[in-house]
Amino acid sequence: MNGAHVSDSPENPPTPPTRASAEESAGGIALLAELWDDERVPAGFATATRERRRWPGVVAMLVVVALLAVAGWYAAYAVLARAPQAAIETRTPVVVEPEPATFRLPSTGSYAVKISGGGGIFGDADDGAAGFTLSQAPERARPIASITKLITALVVLDARPLDDADDPGPTLHFDRADHALYDKYYVRNATIARMPTGSSMTLREALQMMLVISASNYAEAVANWAFGGPWGYTQAVERWLDEYGLDDTTIVEPTGIDPRNTSSPADLVRIGELAMKNPAIATIVGMPHLDVEGHSGANTNTLLGQNGVRGLKTGTLNSSGANLLFQAELAVGPGEPVIVTGAVLGGPSRAAVDSQVNALLDSIRAGYRPVTVARGGNRVGTYTTPWGAEADIVLERDAVVHAWSDAHVASAVTLTALPDGPALPRGTVMGEATFTAGDRTERVPVVLDADVEAPDTWWRLTHLVELDGWP
């Protein structure tokens, strides 16, 4: 029937594909595959498709490279970075204080002894006040006999000073009145020396006569020359004593023959220090013999040159006993010497006083000795690392200081040579400990008492944030 449409209905089932149609389909698929790889495929379509296929691989490769780089940096930093700083603690070394010295003090009379110098262990001795003093009845005034002549010399040189120890000074001419002084003191059993009328000598030589051999006639002659007579002398000496605050001292004449010339041991120590600061007097009182033409004689101070005694003056009156004003310089090891200035009044005899002073000086010298104030190996600190290695900081050797009596010894630790590197051998020097008595300082290295191991690789890998940067 013309124009009729036949539908695919149950009544009209579809026609099964023929062999020709199947071959056509296979050919179409093959053609599509050919077109996929064919350059004639549009460029945008093929490129986009390839890029989509390559991108996951690139990303994976980049991730692997990044991870390897981070791991390499991590490992390199962990191995090569500086180890963190150790914690160092120090403490003041414990000091064994020296035992007090035992002094052999004079057993008779009154005395005062000042010990100074020694490198400032007693303070600044130059101020005339600092120092260590031993005394018995130090302010009790007693007759001082010929020690008066030393005061006369100081008062004269205060008015008529010499330029230095070698300055001869002006020339003194002795007249008949001066010559008469010989007989005046002869009848009083005082020490005298020839003084012919018309003779002369320099002031320095006249001072030798009165201080070395203790000639009383020369002491009065020099005082009369300087001050015009007894009244002028007593006025001058009173002014001088007031100036120096020597309130325990009374002087009525220039020689000491009068027992009213009195002083205390404490005042005499001060006078002795003043005298030894005068170059001319310090030289003269240390002379073992006269150096005056036409005269001879030994120094009345028989201790001179013994046990460091370097001068000053004796004085004896039968009614009041033997006196000695002395100064000694004791060499007691390295550093500044010790100066001992002392006055002993009212001894039973000159020999007894000398013996007591010698014993005292020996005991003072023995009080200065080397003292072990800390032992080698004593801990003065700790060295502790973050990775657990540690060691004590200890004294490398004994600390030995030259100290006097039980004087205080100060101690301290200073880290002066901190080592570079985490691994440190036993004995590595970390600094020094100082032990000071006066101006004497003993320096002892402080060291590690054990090996300090470097951190191992595992610790470094697991404590990266604690490392201290690239070297």
Provide CB contacts within 8 A for 230, sequence distance 6+.
Answer: 223, 224, 253
Helix axes 216-227, 148-159, angle to 10 degrees: 30
Percent of the chain residues past pLDDT 70, beyond the cut: 81
SS3 state of residue 35:
helix
Q: Are 100 and 368 in contact (CB under 8 A)?
A: no
How many of the other CB atoms lie within 10 Å of CB of 38?
Answer: 10
pLDDT class for 27, splitting at 50, 70, 90? low
What one-character DSSP code corresponds to residue 125? G
Q: Provide the residue type at 246 as one letter.
A: L
Identify the pLDDT of residue 8.
44
Record the pTM.
0.72
How many of the other CB atoms lie within 10 Å of CB of 416?
Answer: 11
SS3 state of residue 282:
helix
Instruction: Give the tokens for residue 346.
Output: 């009212």
pLDDT class for 108, splitting at 50, 70, 90? confident
> CA triplet 143, 144, 145: central angle to 5 degrees?
100
Closest alpha carbon to 232 in 162, 168, 301, 156? 156
Average pLDDT of the residues of the chain? 85
Q: How far is 234 from 240, CA to CA, in rounded Å?
A: 10
Determine the average pLDDT of the residues in 284-303.
96
Identify the pLDDT of residue 126.
44
pLDDT above 50: residue 35: no
**Which tops the pLDDT comparison, 34 or 277?**
277
pLDDT above 50: residue 471: yes
pLDDT class for 32, splitting at 50, 70, 90? very low
Q: Are 325 and 339 in contact (CB under 8 A)?
A: no
pLDDT above 50: residue 1: no
Q: How far is 177 from 196, CA to CA, in rounded Å?
A: 10
How many of the other CB atoms lie within 10 Å of CB of 11?
Answer: 7
Burial class for 29, CB neighbours closer than 10 Å (0-12, 13-18, 19+) = exposed
> Which residue matches tokens 């003043």?
274
Q: What is the tens place of the pLDDT at every residue in 249-265?
A: 999 999 999 999 999 99
* Total residue length of the chain: 471
Q: Provide the residue type at 223 as one letter.
A: A
Q: What is the tens place of the pLDDT at every residue in 117-157?
A: 876 666 544 444 466 788 888 889 999 999 999 999 999 99
